[in-house]
Amino acid sequence: MLNLEEARAAYEEPLGRQYEPWSSARLCVVAALSENWEEAYAHAKRANEAGVFANQLVSMHLHHEVEALLRGGDERLAREEVHRFAQRAKANERDRIAYLRSQAVLGEWEGDPERATVHLREAEELAEKLRLPGELWRIRAALGALCERRGETSEARAAFSRAAQTLRKLAERIGDEELREGFLSAPQARRVLERG
């Protein structure tokens, strides 16, 4: 529900036990969403050593691990992680979304925003086809941010508008009013709603 502090506390609890690699993967995602890349990198390294991001429970967040590894200076490991995941992405459309998002991160990192855009657009189509609004609004927001960085104002506005629309529809499904308000007031959601 985008309550990152609550998520961090929940995932830190099992550290030092048998679930530590899972917690590291989830803490990597929380740190990436918080834009704390140093912490995200440390957790990504631990999760990578355990091979956790290959598991379907966290594989949708592979792009966060990839970005954390890249920002931590571990480009070789980031590329290896995406390469290892490529085979699974051929057999499972949900995994294909994670793979495409990771390829988009690599494309932008390598200075190829056009390639990144192509991958995000394909991920958007798949998320829409599979009816995954939780992924769809984030993909659309990432596409909007990428278009914004490229100076493509109208394309960015359109992507953010689609992201905001999807986000609002998703929020309508949350029955608890307090949870819904917390979700919509989270910084990640607010940024999208303000632009869309």
> Does residue 138 have a pLDDT over 90?
yes
- Using the 3D structure, point to which of 77, 102, 130 is the last residue of a domain: 130
Using DSSP's 3-state secondary structure scheme, residue 93 falls into: helix
Q: What is the DSSP string of 16-76?
A: TSTTHHHHHHHHHHHHHHTT-HHHHHHHHHHHHHHTGGGSTTTGGGHHHHHHHHHHTT-HH
Structural domains of the chain, count: 2
> Does residue 8 have a pLDDT over 60?
no
**Does residue 162 sit in the same domain as residue 189?**
yes
Q: Which domain holds residue 119?
A: 1-130
Higher pLDDT, 131 or 176: 131
> Does residue 188 have a pLDDT over 90?
no
**Does residue 137 sit in the same domain as residue 110?**
no
**Does residue 59 sit in the same domain as residue 152?**
no
Q: Which of 144, 196, 146 is nearest to 169 (CA)?
A: 196
**Does residue 122 sit in the same domain as residue 166?**
no
> 47-72 pLDDT, tens per residue?
888 776 666 666 888 899 999 999 99
Which helix (H) or strand (E) covers residue 114, if one does? helix 113-129
- Using the 3D structure, point to which of 130, 156, 178 is the last residue of a domain: 130
**Does residue 59 sit in the same domain as residue 76?**
yes
Torsion of CA 180, 181, 183, 186, to 10 degrees: 180
* pTM for this predicted structure: 0.85
**Does residue 64 sit in the same domain as residue 115?**
yes
> Does residue 15 have a pLDDT over 60?
no
**Does residue 86 sit in the same domain as residue 105?**
yes
Residues 92-99: what's their mean pLDDT? Answer: 92
pLDDT confidence tier of residue 2, bands split at 50, 70 and 90:
low
